[in-house]
Each structure stands twice: as C-alpha cells, then as structure tokens.
Structure 1
C-alpha cells in the first residue's frame, strides 16, 4: 500500500507546513525520521540543491529527508532492484526519485550533485569487497567526482577504535534462556560471536581472540578481547533480528584519523568530524549491560554510537585546514591583560582586551512561504579552534577544519558612524558593509547585546538586524573586522534557513551559543516559533527553598551605580597570552601543502583547563513549582560598559585534566553536588566561549538539585517562568542565557505547565507585550523595547484591574452571604438539638408548667440578598464528590488566581524598574 498523499487534500487537512509534514510522515518510524533530521542538520543545504542518498535500502530515510526539505531534490540509490521498485511504489513526492545503482560506481555525471549522503553504507562497501580498504578509497574518489565544486559529503558510520588495543568487557552473569541465538544471554552471545565472526574467511580462519578472566565482582563475567571486536559486538548485540545477515559484515575499518586523512586526500575540507553518543542508545543498551576497562584495569567511558564527518569539495590550493604549527618569533601582540581589583573583597582579576571592537549584523528575510532566512558569513578562518591543547583535552573529540559560520562582523565604529537609524543610513550601511539590498523602509534594528565572557574578556558584542531582499547567489564579504588578514580563507556571505542553523547548533556542527541566542531572539522578535527536535526527561524532587531570590532587590541593586572594580598595576597571573604561528594548508598537485601562515594571539588560563562545565540547577518547591538556581556575582567587564557589574550567573566547575570522557564528566558533576549520575543531564553539545580570543570550551549541563543546594546561601532560586522574563535584564552572561534557552527547549513538556497556560489566557490582554509566549524558549526583548510598550500595558492593566475589582467585590459579597447563611443553619441545628434534649428530660421528670418556647425565625438576621442571588432555602444540596483521575483534573481557581496575583506583583515590580536604566560607561 502506498503512502502518497494528495497535495490538495493536504491543503484542506492542514494549513501549516508542519501539519502537512506530519501527515506525510505518519507511517514512517520515528527512528527513521530522527535519522533523516540528524543527517540534514549537518548539511545546511540551499534551496534547489540535488542530494543523492547512497545505499538507501528501503528508501524510507530518503523519503523522510524529502518531506523535511521540500525545496531540495533527493535521489535514493541502491543496487537492489527489488528494494528500489518497492520504494517507488510506496513513496511519491515531487522532489523525490529512486534509482538502481551501486554506490561504488560512477552512476552520476561529473559535478552534477550538490551533496552525497553515506549513512551507514561505507562499512557495507568495505565488507562486500572482502574487507578491502582500497575499494572504500576508490568509492569516495568516484563520489567526489560527481560533486560540484563546493558540494558537501556527509558520512555517518562507525570508526574503528585504536588498533591493536585490548580491553576488558565486564557483563552481568545472566543465564541463557535456551540455545537459540535469540535466547542467549549477552555474555554467552559474546562467546558465540568470538567463534563465528568473519564467516566468509577460509574454514577455520574466522573468529577473534577472547579469554575469560576471573570475576572482579560477584554476579559478573569478565572478558579480555581486542577493542575493535568489543566495539563490533557492543554495536550489534541488541539487533538479534538481523544478527545472521549482519554476521559477515564488519562495522569498523577506518579510525577517525584515517577517515579525515582519506577525505583530505580527495582534496576535501573536512569541515567537521566527531564521535557521537546517542543518549537513548546509551541508556537502553549500554548502562547496566556492560562496563569497559583498559588493559590495565582503568575504567573507560561509553564508546561512541557512531562517527560523523562533513566535508566539502574544493579546488586546488583552496584552504582545507588551519592549525597551530609553532610559537611565533615576533613580539607584536594584539592582546593586553589588565588587572582589576575588587575594592570590597580585595580580589584581583585579570581581564584581556583586543585592539578591535566588533559588532555583529544578522541580515534576514521571510520568504513567501513564511520561512525565516538569515545571511551569515560561512567559511571564515577561526584558527584558534585548532590550537594545541594546553591544560585538559578535547573531551568530546569534536574537530573543525578551522573554518566557521558566524554573523557578519563589522567594526563598531562603522555602526557609530551611521548615526540615527533611518532608511537612508541603513541602506548606505548595508551597501558599504554587507553587500545586500535592504527591503523597502527597512532600518537597522538593535538586538540583544552579549558579553562573551564577562569575567575576563573585555568585549561587549552588539547585535543588529536588517531586513533585506533576496541575494543572487553568494556574496564576497566586505567587512573583516576581528578576522585574519593573511589566510586565504575569507569565506562568503550566503543565505541559510534559520531553522537549519539552529539544528546545526543542536547537533554540534556549529559551536556557537551566541549565534543560537541571536537567531532565537530574531524568531521571537518576528513572532515566529522555532522548532525543537531534542527533548529530555528530568525527575525533580521537591525541596524547601530557603534562599528564594528577591527579584525587587536584584533589580534595585542593578539600577544603582557600582564602581567596585578598579585597575591596578601588574597581573594576577590568571591569564596568559600566547603568540603562535598558525598554518593554512591546501591541496597542491595531489598532496597537501602549506598555503599561508599568520601569527595569532590568544588567551589561556593558567592553573585551569580549557574545559568548563556550566550548570543549571532545577528543582521544585513545596507547591510543585519548578525553580532555576543561579549565583549572583559582580564582574569587571559589565561594570566598564554599564556602570554596574552585577549579573546572574550559572554555577561553574572547571573540569580537571584527568576527566577524559562524558561518563567521567557526569560522575564528576554528580560527586560535586552529591547526587546520582542519573540526575545529571547534558544540555546539548559543547561550544567555544569566544573562538576569536580563546580555545576555552563550555560544556552545558542541568542537574536535579539536591536538598542541600536549596539551603546553600550562594545559590538563589527563582520560578523558571520568571527567569524567562528576567534573564535579559539580570544576566550579562551568555552561558546562563544559553542554559535557560536550552532547558526550556529540552525539558519543554515539564516546564510548560498547564496552570500557567490557563493563566496565560487570563492575562493575555493585560500583559500582551510583557508576558512571554510559553512556547518560546526564552524572552529576548530588551528593556528599551519593553519601555516602548509600558504605557499601553499600564493603561490596559488599569482597565482590567477596575473590572477585576468589581468582580472581586461581587464575589466577596456572594461568599459573605453564603457564610452567614451557613452560620444561621448551624445555629438552627444546634437549637433544634437542644430542644429535643429538653423534651426528653421532661418525660423523665414531674411535669412542670413552663413558659412556651417562642418559634425561631431562621431568616430574621439575614440581609436581603441581591437580585442575582437565590434565597438560601433555594440553594441546591451539595452533590457527592466525583472522583477525577489526577491527570485530568482541571486547575482550580485558587491555583490560577494565586499564580495570577504572583505574576501580577512580579510584573509590577519589574515595571517600576524600567524607568531607571543602568548608566552606560564607555
């Protein structure tokens, strides 16, 4: 049965692109859709591109990619005629076709394809060729031949562990349920696999070395074997369904280094390569199933679940890689280090500054179908990304060629020279510095500002947006502020779908949290919603929060001048300036050789590693409200620019040099906070704090906060919804802003509480421009933008307050009358009971003539009810309680009303502070 969907029907069934997409993908397995999204997130494809999916198998992933990117054409290629015919029968889209062919052959004409996808196909090529690596080399050569200049190749496969290394594999001692393969325990399956691997070898020549060692712990079995075969077993042990068909196949053949070397040998720039760890696979198939140790008994981290590489086909003598080669002999430096002393604490801090002040511009447009497009500088040289490690190692193994994607950098003086932002000055600026034509009546817009590292890098990067017309092709950059002058790699300005950029950041290809925040800010400014493809589950315990943040106090302290930091002579010895020579390499006459070199200055921390973990503590108060934890610090850089260095920051931990993998890092964080590793969550991939100045890497994490942290005087807590409102005004640290944004996106379902959604409807009119949309990851409006809306908001608030006061008065009157009626009813019952008791006593005593008891008028003391209220006698009798399952219970008025009052008071406090902006000091 085919799953072709009529486009006309789609128009009536779902107006939005996402709705149509979901209908088209409703019969595709979620794992396949996720695989397609992961692949495309690395490619940043332009509209009209032609992509070939090599070894497409049943064609489902090719189809999913075509659905996700309707403006790109996809061709699925497989040598199985039966599979291709089945795919043609099942999948029908205008931008999709299938073709019978071998991935090792020259199926397509030279330079006719924009991108090639090799998703778990190269190890099939290797195994089919009787484990011949040369066939893989030849296949890649043919595939690069069909790529256009600048075309991309995506590889996702398994990388071979270091050859000739042995490891210990420890597994639970579980008895097998039977003798069939599907019934064997994992330890017994390993023994079977060691005897039957490589079945295509000559008789008696298959298998691999395996020996069982004495157990280290009761209830376990310990094996010693080559690392390669341990990895081969781990990655296939859970797929018993395809075990026999996959038995002749070897998953690993190239190491990571050999992959990169082979691709560069084809004249390709390996823009990005990395091992990848899939959290779901690790939790479902690794944890609790095995532990690995080195051959001398040291614990190892989890092996990667796959390896990815993105490479671009370039002409001869084009920049392929930039790396640090040797210390520079010149003495000239563009960096200066200044010591700053905190007059109140006496602490001295080193601060580094460059000889250039940079602003960043993000030109954008919204196309006719509602897609947000941005213009970014692609391929610019960022050599510091490949600096030799000094203190600590590359924990996640992610590598770049030294070429990055960033916003367009301009000298801040160029922005200052614009003067007032009007249509003419914005057009002149765009022509001179961007090479783009603004849309009619478009003016430069000042977006959020960022301090890349407010504790030690003296830079404040201003962000600007400009609405532009669609450019014809790529554009040579006109501005090179803060960039290299001598390297051949200058990059180019090109249009990219904004959602694709966010996806590339999510998978780790673009290591920039600032670009992530800038694009999220633009989405919010345009009242558009970005998508989130990553979600996580976090279990939070309730804590009594002894140190809730006083928002009013923080805002008051922020608005007051504070000049606690002052320059002092000398240096604190915290920072060290490195002056080194970086070399740019390219292909020349079939080999890789040097193209150019340049002396580059950068900063490293003495006494610290290049890796820092930033942590977002999350917890629930006794009411179940999710709170975010933070520290409050004074920092020297914001003080210089704004006159006050107070900022909200995330707790940080410098990662020791002996931490070499993610598993150890999670354990380190867990031990620091006294929590289990299951309460530590990675918030996306690591990123550079400021790759133009330092190789310092940031590793973002969230933790389920322990009770002890709730009592820590240095850690403050605030309701998460308030933090989404306040983070722009309270925090000058981009790492904290990134944690807030990613926490909201990744833990979306838990943070988007139903009670707040109910209150949002109540308050929509009142706080239309102040309250954030709960579906957005973070609130980005600047204080200036909020001031512009303040008068309108206040007037609307006053009108609603008057209506609410009237409603509350009526409600109070109704409740008062009900209460009085209840009191009279109780009195009447008590009196009737008393009369009955007296009557009973009379029967037992001699009859005595008493004065008659006057009848009681139960309504004598009741006031006349208003016309809208029914008499007490007519009130209906209370019905028996109906038991409603907890998950279906509607939120009571008390919950929403309480939250409404809380948010109202919070907004009122915040609004009062808008009138007094912090002083700015340059």
Structure 2
C-alpha cells in the first residue's frame, strides 16, 4: 500500500502517534509545528526543514493520486465541505478499513484524523495499510464514550447514520442518541459533517417508470429492474416482525410512454429501490439497510434541540452514478405525471455547535408596511434611446479587506469572517424555485468589509486608514514593508446594483490564535445580532474548493482568493466540480476580436437620472428573526428590520453561460456580451463593460437538469453538452435573494450565438481585466472558474511578465505633453476609490509642475494596483523618455523625477515570483 512506502521515511512508532494521543483522555498538547517552533525561538526555519516539508508534500500528493478515482472523489467532496484551521482534531466515524480516512489525511496534512470503527478486523487492516503522522485508528463504537468532552474540532459521519438507524430496528431515537453523544465531544464552535441520505416528505407518493426489459431471471442478479422492484416491495425491512415486511406497490396499466412499465409507490421507497437497484451481488446483504430515515425538517429539529446550527444542507448528484446508473434507466414522476429529477445520490449537512443562546437560524418572519429607507431604487434614462434602467443604491460604500500571510512551506492563509449574519439569503421565495436544493442558516463565510465613505483623493491617507482598520478592528498586525495592493473591482450586478466593491490585499504577521470573535464598527440604526461571527484563518485552497461545491454562497470571497493566488504565482488546487465535455471541433472560421476594440465599438450612451417610477424592481422591508437555542428549545433571540430588493414577478434565478471554443491554432476563446451600462458610467468610466452572457430562468424551470435543458435549447445543443461551472451563488447577499447558476458549453459548429456576443482570446481577456477592470462580477467568477476547471495546460493563463511588461512604465508622448499608460487613461477604466482617483476624460495633459506632483503622489501612496501593477513606476523605477526640440527644457526636471523614484524603490516589499512565473503558469 501507499502508506507503507511513506512509513519507511518515518521515525519509530513512539514518535509518530501524536495524532492518537490528541483524541484520548490525556491533555498532552500536540507536537509543535515548525511555525510554532520558529515563533517561540524567533529563528527562521532551516533549509533542510523546508526541503523535508516539500518532499513530504510531494509524497502525499503522489499517494493520493494513486488511490482509486472513487476514493479520490469521495474524499475530495468531504474535504471541500469541511473548512477547519490547521491543528484541528477530527474523528471519522465508521471508517471501516480506513481508505477514506487515509485519503482525507493525505489531503489535509495539517489536520489530525482519527478513524473510528467497532470492527477490530477493519481497524487492524487500517493500521497495517495506512500510516501517516497525522493519522491514527481506534476500535470503538461511534458514540466515542471514552473521549473526553469538548475535545474534538470536527466529526465526520459519512454513510454511517443510516446503519445505526437500521441495525437498531429502524429507530430514529437511536440516531438522535448517537448524535447527542457525539456532540458532547465537540468543542464549542466545533463542526459536524454528515454525508448520508435524506427522506422525502412523509406520505408522498410517486410514479416510477422503467423501460421494457427482456431479463426474466429468478435471482436478483438476473432480474429486470421492474421485477426486482416487485420482489423488494415484498421483502424490504426484514428486521421488522415476521409478516410486517414490505411496502405498498401497484403496477399501473395506463402508461405515460410506450414500451415501459409504470408503478405507483411511496416516494421514499422509490428512492430506497433506486439507491440499491444496481448492487445485485450484495442484494441480500444490503436488504436490511434502510437508507432514508430523517427528512430535512427532522435534521433541523434535532440539531436545534441539541444546540447545533445547521449551517448548510445540499443534495449531491455523483456524476458517475448519474451517467452509469440513472440516465435512461428510469424516470420518476409526481402522481399527476410531471417528471421529477433523479434522487440525489447523497446529501451533505454541515452543523456547528452553537451552545446555549447561540444563534441557529436567520429567517424572514413577516413583511412590514413601512416604506424602505435604506435601499433606494433609482431610475436612469438613456438620453439617446430613452430606455429606462432601474438600479438599487446602498447609502454606504465598502471595500473588501483581505488580510493574508504566507507560511514557510508556501501555504496561503486568508483571514475571513466565519458566521457573518446575512438574513437575506433566507428571504421567503416569491414565485422562485430553489433549483439545487441548497439551504443555509444565514451565517456565512465572507470577506471582511470596511466602509470607504470617508475616503478622499489622498491615496496615502486611504492606505493609512486601511492599515489602522486591520490593526484596530481586525486585531491583525500588518507586516512592515509588506504588501498592500488594490485589486479588481467587483460589480455584483452592473445592470441593477449601483455598486463596485474593491479589494485591498494586506500582508499580515501570524497572530497568536487562528480564530477570535469579531465585532464590526456599528452605527446608530445598524442591526443588533447576538453575534457577528468570528475572524478565522483558512487555507486559500480550502476556500476555493468550498466555493466550487457550493458551501460558500458569497459571490466575492472566491474571486478575491483566486486573484491573490494569481498575484503570488501560486498553483490552484484540483477542480472538484463537474468536468467539461471533450473539445468540440476547431473553429477556423471564428475570428477572435480584440477586447479593446470590442469595448470601443459599443454604442455610446449617456445615462441621466429620471423621475420615472420603478416598475420592475421592488424594495421590501421585512422582519427577520434570529432564532437560538435556549433551555433546550428554540426561541427568538433578536429581530431585525431588513431591506432587500426583488423583481416584480418574483423570478430571481439567473443563468450565466460561458461559451468556450478553439480557433485555428487551438487557442481557447470565450464569448463575451459587451454592453453599455449605467453603473460603471456613474462611477466615472464610459459605461462600456464586458459581461457574461446570461438568461433569466423562467418559473417552469424547477431544477438544475431543467436549467441545462433550457440552455441547451438556446444553443441548439444536447443537455449533456451543458456543464455546471461550479455551484450557484447569490448576486449580493446583503441586497437581494437573487441566485446565479453558472454554466459552460463547448460551443462547436452547430451552436448558435447571438450576433452581439463576441469571441475573445482567453489570454487577452485576463490582460484586459487588469488594465481596465470593466468586467461584471459574474464574468470574473466565470473566467476564474474556467481557469481552474481547464487548468493552465489549456492556454488560459497569460504569461504576465511578457504580456504586461509594456504597461509597467509611465511614458511621455512625443510632444511630452501627455502621461500615458495602457489602461490608466482609457475612458473604459474604472477609477479606484481606494486610490483616490477621479473620472478619466482622456489623457492627462501635463506641465512641469504636474509631472513632478503626480510622480510625488505615486511615491507617497505606495499602494499598487492590479497584477500588471499599473502604478509600479514606484517598484520598477522606469521612465521612458523621447526627447524633442520643443521640450528640451523639461529634461532636467524629468531626470530628477526618475532619480527620486529610484531613491524610493526600497519602499516596496522585495519581489516575489510574478504570477505566471511559478509552477502554475499563472
């Protein structure tokens, strides 16, 4: 086994069992990490220690990739749903022979795992085969009665609770008793992950249809699905008393389709059969197992009773099972004959120990008749066409503050808010459908935000305010001479939300703790929740994976982490979402247009405010209640009046679709939707913006499968050609319950695209992004996810050093009257509020004084923007001069500016690898 090879490189048994000790009754602290040793001694980590870490990482990666695809996928899905800081102690219940626990330990080398199983033979096999410094196994029942209370950071119940239910005579009480015993072992704030099945609402019937089959065997292996269902209806629940087995089933003779057999039965038992119909060899052994036992409401009720916040719940459809066992093999219907999607192959539930008076749920209780006063819906008019646009405007402006640090072994750690109250995600649906079945408690992981209302034109003062906020409000210490960079603005919805949110990346020192309570600066009239969450240190790769599987519905954190990793040249983790289909035909007829030309070609528009009343958007003011655990029951802790916007028809589901293809030289092309929009124009740019092609999903689209069929029809494709580009997210968790469902298609020759959409080379798109910033947030996320999905081997990542070299210097025109840099003077570029910029009306005309003053301001600010480092005359200290007769007198002054820049070069931190120069290729 893979673990045996690694064992040869390890010390004796006595030195490698710290993982097991950490879970027992002893209070011996865990072994110190290299970082902790360095922090105590003040010494740097030695080169040999660093090399050993690197070797260990490579060994772990190789061992994980040698596991079966099934084990890899299962472990990756569990890991992506389990966000825990380094040093956490996690018990994997019912680990069997340890394959999944071993894979989890490989994926998370800084988390200590203990596999628990009651079967001594299984545990002996696990110990023999799998050996890692952060992995141990123990033979014990999954109630772990020998563990000390509040000693675990995490518990994993993967496909084990239905066994408890079945083996105790189909007893729900046995499940609740097991959960109660386990929860006692969790620390306050500890996390439980459940991966199991979920029962549909009780007493709900369904129709189950099978195609006709020529199988007519007498045993389970040789029977048709329909005949096996008939046998199952007579023998299910064998642990019941004699004669009490089975369930109701009737075969209908009035068929919905020809050449089929149709049955009516309880929906629960339809799902039970579909989950096991292909396990023919193990049929008799599995017959006693009943997979579905709790409904969604059962889970929520029991967790609330036990003081657990049910943070997240979602169905999961395993792609392999869908392709090989579901598609074309059966069809579920409601009793009145409407098609149903296939049952989820699993459900993921994340619950967090909240304790007494801990916040459990934020939900809308009742709408108010008061007129909204916080959100303002404004109407703007296109002066040329007269077309009206409705937009919502918040009274406050914010920036995302992204503190981060790099460890000695190359890990990128991000500081976020874990448990931020966002009640709007639980607004009551108004004609909308939850397409993917995901639910949240209303406590989200999201970036830390800072008000920038008071920011002026002095970039240096703005920088000091940010550093003060990081130090005083977040309780982190910025590194002296560390990085402070302004990133890409994020437009949540440039067609209907008048907001662009800029990120500021601040490099900080390692704090003493990995988590602490957070209280934002509050003003009169702000909500008063019982808790505002905690500042938490999370690995960047874990954040990306959690976003890919849908745990993080916040729209911005994922793109912030992605951009920072691009800046630092760090490799991205392996994609865990749906895979793209094989490439379509190379399309030599496709002409990739230049992005700047696309922006320039958009019809010019001027938007002015109008007195016309809003007709499409509605601002709603509602009471949201924060429920909590109090004296063994659930009660309201606080109530807040919260405002949000909805559409007049209640439809809040949006699909974005990225059509991808290849040109004659196999370069990747992406289709963009160029538009002239009011939000970027009102912020000082031209209004030209590149957006992701999008559609409003109509009310009759009720699930993701139907959304794929809807999109496929739009492009003249098959539904199988439409792939999810990661999971859904909210447009803006503080403003609207609108959900965005991202998709990608590989658009070969027969796919039809609207003429307004333009193809652009993917490499070029990234460069444009950092020069202009005029991209919709949905397009940013779509491009980032495409980058991670296709990996750098597909030509998506630009080589930034070569491509952007020309944008790194300030150049004077031949007449030396204009300061020019690619992007900085473009009318399309979005001015930065952080950098104190105003709107750009073309090139800046300079005289001697202006030249010196501008250079001095850049030196003083020392805040850089974008990967292309638009203001990096500070860092690169290069001024390009072309002397002419008319301006010879200015040369002396310009030379002085250059010398001053050179003198101030040490103000910037030492260079790291540029994005694109590291192993990721960008």
TM-score in same-fold range (> 0.5):
yes
Taking structure 1 as reference, are residues 132 and 86 closer, same or farther at Cα in structure 2, changes over 3 Å only? same
For 2:288, the equivalent position in structure 1 comes to 248
Partner of 1:702: 744
Corresponding residue to 1:536 among 569, 579, 582: 579
Of the candidates 510, 533, 551, which is equivalent to residue 491 of structure 1?
A: 533
Q: Secondary structure of the residue that 2:560 maps to in structure 1?
A: helix
Q: Contact (CA 8 Å) 2:396, 2:453: kept in 1 or not?
A: no
User: 1:104 offset after TM fit, Å?
Assistant: 3.8
Q: Confirm or deny: 8 A CA contact 2:372 2:620 kept in the other structure.
A: no
Unaligned residue ranges in structure 1 (runs of 5+): 772-779, 797-922
1:679 correspondence with 2:763: no
User: Which residue of the other structure, out of 149, 155, 163, is the alignment partner of 1:110?
Assistant: 149
Q: 1:576 to 1:134 in 2, by over 3 A?
A: same
Could you tell me how far apart the structure 1 residues matched to 2:526 and 2:7 are? Answer: 50
TM-superposed CA distance for 1:624, in Å, is 4.7
Question: What is the Cα deviation at residue 652 of structure 1?
Answer: 1.3
Where does residue 203 of structure 1 map in the other structure?
242
Secondary structure in structure 1 of the residue aligned to 2:488: strand
Structure 1 partner of 2:86: 47
1:735 aligns with 2:778: yes
1:296 and 2:336 equivalent? yes
Report the secondary structure of 1:696's partner residue. strand
What's the TM-score, normalizing by structure 1? 0.80
Q: Indicate if the aligned counterparts of 1:648 and 1:730 stay in contact, CA closer than 8 A.
A: no
| Residue 122 (structure 1) shift | 0.4
Distance in 1 between the 2:522 and 2:609 partners? 27
Deviation at 1:41, TM superposition (A): 1.7
The alignment partner of 2:333 has SS state of strand
Which residue of 2 is the match for residue 162 of structure 1?
A: 201
Matches within 5 A, 1:216-227: 216-227=256-267
Alignment pair present for 1:131 and 2:176: no
- Could you tell me how far 1:574 is from its partner in structure 2? 1.5
Contact 2:97 2:123 in 1 (8 A): yes
The residue number in structure 1 matching 2:5 is 5
CA deviation map 1:755-775 (0-9, x unaligned): x99xx7xx976767889xxxx
d(CA) in 1 for partners of 2:879 and 2:761? Answer: 27
* Residue 663 of structure 1: how far off its partner (Å): 1.6
Deviation at 1:284, TM superposition (A): 1.9
Tell whether 2:126 aligns with 1:87: yes
Equivalent in the alignment of 2:595: 551
Q: Deviations over 1:703-746 (max 9, x none)?
A: 23364655632121123333333344364201011111212322
Corresponding position of 1:343: 383
Task: Give yes or no for contact 1:477–1:492 (8 Å, CA) kept in 2.
Answer: yes
* Rounded Cα–Cα distance in structure 2 between residues aligned with 1:107 and 1:448: 51
The answer as to whether partners of 2:304 and 2:633 remain within 8 angstroms in 1 is: no
Q: Please tell me whether residue 377 in structure 1 is matched to residue 417 in structure 2.
A: yes
Aligned pair count? Answer: 781
Displacement of 1:481: 6.9
Render the CA deviation track for 1:648-679: whole Å, top value 9, x for unaligned: 11221111112211121111112233221122
1:551 deviates by 3.3
Q: Which deviates more from structure 2 when the two are superposed, residues 538-547 or residues 325-334?
A: 538-547
1:465 equivalent in structure 2? 505
Question: Unaligned 5+ residue runs, structure 2?
Answer: 11-47, 809-863, 881-922
CA distance in 2, matches of 1:378, 1:521: 20
What's the offset of the Cα at 1:30? Answer: 2.5
Distance 1:37 1:205, change over 3 A: same
Task: State whether structure 2 residue 866 is matched by structure 1 residue 782.
Answer: yes
Taking structure 1 as reference, are residues 53 and 743 closer, same or farther at Cα in structure 2, changes over 3 Å only? same
In structure 1, how many angstroms separate the alpha carbons of the residues matched to 2:480 and 2:281?
60
Of residues 753, 762, 768, the one that matches 1:726 is 768
Secondary structure of 2:499 counterpart: coil
Structure 1 487/544 Cα, relative in aligned 2: closer, same or farther at 3 Å? same
The match for 2:493 is: 453
Select the residue among 557, 562, 567 that pairs with 1:515: 557
Question: Equivalent of 1:477, from 515, 518, 522?
Answer: 518
**Residues 678, 27 of structure 1: CA spacing in aligned structure 2 closer, same or farther, 3 A cutoff?**
closer
8 Å contact 2:436–2:704 — kept in the other structure? yes
SS in 2 for 1:34: helix
Cα distance in 1, alignment partners of residues 458 and 632 from structure 2: 48
* C-alpha displacement of 1:429: 3.9
State how far apart, in whole Å, the 1-side matches of 2:778 and 2:55 are.
34
Change (3 A) 1:550 1:147: closer
For 1:790 and 1:185, locate their aligned partners in 2 and report how far apart those are by CA, in whole Å. 74
Select the residue among 271, 274, 279 that pairs with 2:311: 271
| CA-to-aligned-CA distance 1:613-638 (integer Å, 9 cap, x gap) | 11111234456544211211111000
Task: Kindly report which structure 2 residues correspond to 1:556-635, keeping only aligned pairs within 5 A, or say none.
Answer: 556=600, 564-607=606-649, 609-621=651-663, 624-635=666-677
Q: State the secondary structure of the residue aligned to 1:163.
A: coil
Mapped pair 1:667 → 2:709: yes
> Does structure 2 retain, via aligned residues, the 8 Å contact 1:362–1:376?
yes
After superposition, the C-alpha distances for 1:487-527 in whole angstroms (9 at most, x for unaligned) are: 11211212111111111111111112321111011001111
Matched, 1:326 2:366: yes
- Once residues 176 and 457 of structure 2 are traced to their aligned partners in structure 1, the CA distance between those partners, rounded to angstroms, is 54
Check conservation: 2:447, 2:556, Cα contact below 8 A.
no
Question: Compared with structure 1, are the counterparts of its residues 724 and 495 closer, same or farther at alpha carbon in structure 2 (3 Å cutoff)?
Answer: same
Tell me the residue number matched to 2:320. Answer: 280
Greater shift, 116-125 or 175-184, is seen at: 175-184
CA distance, structure 2, for counterparts of residue 565 and residue 2 of structure 1: 64
Asked if 2 retains the 8 angstrom alpha-carbon contact of 1:349 and 1:574, the reply is: no
Change (3 A) 1:36 1:484: farther
State the shift of 1:179 in Å: 3.5
Tell me the CA shift for residue 43 of structure 1. Answer: 2.0
Deviation digits for residues 583-615 of structure 1 (CA, Å, limit 9, x no counterpart): 111111111001111101111111350111111
The answer as to whether partners of 1:372 and 1:498 remain within 8 angstroms in 2 is yes
Deviation at 1:220? Answer: 2.4
Q: In 1, distance between residues paired with 2:455 and 2:131? A: 50
What is the TM-score with the length of structure 2 in the denominator?
0.80
Find the structure with the greater CA-based Rg. 1
Are the counterparts in 2 of residues 504 and 510 from structure 1 also a CA contact under 8 Å?
yes
Distance in 1 (CA, whole Å) between partners of 2:137 and 2:380 is 65
Query: What is the alpha-carbon distance in structure 1 between the residues aligned to residue 210 and residue 588 of structure 2?
Result: 41
Change (3 A) 1:748 1:525: closer
The root-mean-square deviation of aligned C-alpha atoms, in Å, is 3.1
CA drift at 1:414 = 5.7
SS for the counterpart of 1:448 is coil
CA contact (8 A) 2:377 2:614 kept: no
Measured in 2, the distance between the counterparts of 1:248 and 1:49 equals 36
SS where residue 200 of structure 1 aligns?
coil
Partner in structure 1 of residue 903 of structure 2: none
SS of residue in 1 equivalent to 2:622? strand
* Larger proportion of helix: 1
1:360 aligns with 2:400: yes
Decide whether the 8 Å contact of 1:172 with 1:221 is kept in 2.
yes
Residues in 2 aligned to 1:714 and 1:357: alpha-carbon distance in whole angstroms = 33
* CA distance, structure 2, for counterparts of residue 306 and residue 528 of structure 1: 33
- Deviation per CA, 1:299-357, whole angstroms, max 9, x where unpaired? 11121111111111122112111111112354451011111011222210111111111
**Structure 1 counterpart of 2:787:** 744
Give me the whole-angstrom Cα distance separating, in 1, the residues matched to 2:293 and 2:299.
9
In 2: Cα distance, 1:453 partner to 1:409 partner: 18
Conserved? CA contact 1:411–1:481, under 8 Å: no
Q: 1:658: which partner in 2? A: 700
Could you say which residue in structure 2 is the equivalent of 1:194?
233
Cα–Cα, structure 1 residues 223 and 426, in superposed 2: closer, same or farther, change >3 Å?
A: closer
